[in-house]
Structure 1
Amino acid sequence: MTDDLWPAPTASSAVDATVTVPGSKSVTNRALVLAALASEPGWIRRPLRSRDTLLMASALRSLGVGIEDTVNNATGGTGGGDAWRVIPAGLRGPASVDVGNAGTVMRFLPPVAVLADGPVHFDGDPRSHERPLHGVIDALRALGARIDDEGRGALPLTVHGTGALDGGTVTVDASSSSQFVSALLLSGARYNQGLEVRHVGGPLPSLPHIRMTVEMLRAAGAQVDAPEDGGEADVWRVTPGALLGCDLVVEPDLSNAAPFLAAALVTGGRVTVRDWPRRTTQPGDRLREILTAMGGSCGIGDEGLTMTGGGRILGIEADLHEVGELTPVVAAVAALADSESHLYGIAHLRLHETDRLAALAKELNGLGGDVTETADGLRIRPRPLHGGVFRTYEDHRLATAAAVLGLAVPGVQVEDVATTGKTLPDFPGLWTAMLAGSAAPATA
């Protein structure tokens, strides 16, 4: 329907803007889980307030956790401003959790729910029923939890919490989602024997997200042994113990910076993303390397990261296995390049909010592109593109990729741009402000 179509703005000149990107969804939702399991209250400052994070907060509240909105900085935290104060409590059931289509909610909370005193029912959007959850379900069952899913290995399901779980050693095939490992580790310190997670199966996607989980656990006082510390490959151990209530300032979501930085390349302009961390576990930090290889140049200064376009977009050969969430925007830039691109190592994207590989091929080709799926990626041969409807399949990253195309291709109409609210509130407003010379997030 036309009412659902957003006309993607076309850039009339090189973009020159400074952008404030809202906080990281991955950090915010991990922080909420860790704060809920802590032994004392904690603060999450500058949290992302989007559909995925509000679903996580609502789910934890339904389990008895106190999450208070506050702008008080009296505790001396450095974040100031917008914050959540999280007050842990005994987890209770019965409860019902709406996961929406948030992978972090559907995967991180069943391991928490086994610690609740009563049943916890999980359900969500129709697409959530199709996303893999078997790794978490099977692992929890192996550790002694009772879960009713009628053999689906997916939602809907009910976790029958007993208030405790012994824990121990468990194997999981996380080749379809690194979130299986993160989900188990986040709750592992609260299990009586702690937890040892052994990945078996194909290569793990999105390893930076597991490293993020490990670092955040350690910041909360947990003792974690991980492969990158010289330990056994694909094995993580969390020692049982109390978690501390932290005072955390959430970093900007670097993956959500992708379309804004891409705008610099596409228009031959310059975009600065404020507060880019000099050290981070976020996969989005790879944008510096990827977009530089595609013809940009970048540098980090006091204000943030600045990406400058060189007036020419180069094709790229890139293994995106660890940073698959960047694929839609990278594919959009590649479709505007002057030579062929091959993006690979991303077969797991077929199991995300939608089948991202099939969707990107179909929608780019619908605008005149020449994109073919490979066994584990996309081959993109640039062609002159034309306007048309770009469908998003309720996938926020497809919508932002379409906006990038629209900068250079007049007449691109984005279906359901509101789906960007999953992780990036008021994306259309931010995008329009960037084209006007500045961009800051709307106030919550």
Structure 2
Amino acid sequence: MAPAPTPCLHQNIPHLPQQNPAAKFQKTRSRAVKGRSQQQRVTAVAEVNHVIQDTPAQTRRLVEANVPAGTPIVPPQDLPSRPRRNRRSVSFRNAVAENFLHPAHLILPVFVHDGEQNIPIASMPGVSRLGWRHGLIDSVAEARSYGVNQVVIFPKTPDHLKTRTAEEAFNPAGLAQRSIRLLKDTFPDLEVYTDVALDPYNSDGHDGIVRDDGVILNDETVEFLCRQAVSQARAGADVVSPSDMMDGRIGAIRRALDREGFTHVSIMAYTAKYASAFYGPFRDALASAPAAADGSSKRIIPPNKKTYQQDPANYREALRELRADEAEGADIVMVKPGMPYLDIIRLLRDNTTLPVSAYHVSGEYAMLKAAALQGWLNEEEAVLESLLSMRRAGADIILTYFASDAAKWMAGDRSPFIGGTKSGL
């Protein structure tokens, strides 16, 4: 006769290292049978009063699992769906990954200055103002060696060249224009993006021309932005990137480029650029923060950029900016900053067929770098997770100061960083 069914008990597996595993299991089971009058009911995982029949297969499964002493013996849950099955190995996780990160998705922002030596930026450890002749070339060559073939140029304009109307922005011999020409001459297949805004050249530190009463002039600023974009295209820029947030500037720049024969030059619009607190280190790098008003003058200089950059409180407003930029001829639309605005990246992704870019800005870089330097974060894992989060939100392209490092970390693996899984069981 077959033995009577034995209730499944929460029992500890005895810790007997020298004993045969099968004999150990049998001994445990025998004690349970003898103490049947004091049976425990399993309520944590198994059904109450659920009784199972011991089988050789079940015995084998328990003894071969090499579970720690004290592990309860319970029947398998009756689950039609077990999501962990799709996470069981590196290969399988990579096979079903919904998003991935590759060096081709990254743009490296570079700060250049009109000098020979690289100058470290204190608020951005590991980032420098690059000497435009040599440091710039070395930095871009390194990025390309790891598969990053897109850069965006930000020039540190000497103070003596800054004016209230920022004409240096479209000087054919200006620092940005010289840097573009040098990069295209050195690396013809490099994709060079530029910044279209007046703040690096404006003595008032604003993206537009400031009237004496503090109003940022829109249409007059757009005229100079058009001249700036055309001068960059003449120097060899592949993509011009208006970051100023003036109304109507995308359409005006598109018409100006086309009129001058630059129909092949793309526009990456800073579509949803927020008046964010995360830009501080960038403004240190370029000395482009709004200037303090002169106490002896009656001029008003706004202390921030909130009359033209978006309010961080607003979500729907980004759709209005998106529709305008699409209608005016943008080729790529951007959200800036990146991680604090993942919802806005998703909003744009769900409402346009255009590529969406995200800017992993200087403040985000500084926070991650500082935490890593303190040993509070694993820099590689935290950075790659941050970048992947923007891809997951819908970004096709990411501007990040970590571009070279991220690509280097990817190159250290057997395959690109895919789906958040690099190594492990």
TM-score normalised by length of structure 2: 0.29
Larger Rg: 2
Higher relative contact order (CA 8 A, sep 6+): 1
TM-score (norm 1): 0.28
Q: Which has the higher strand share?
A: 1
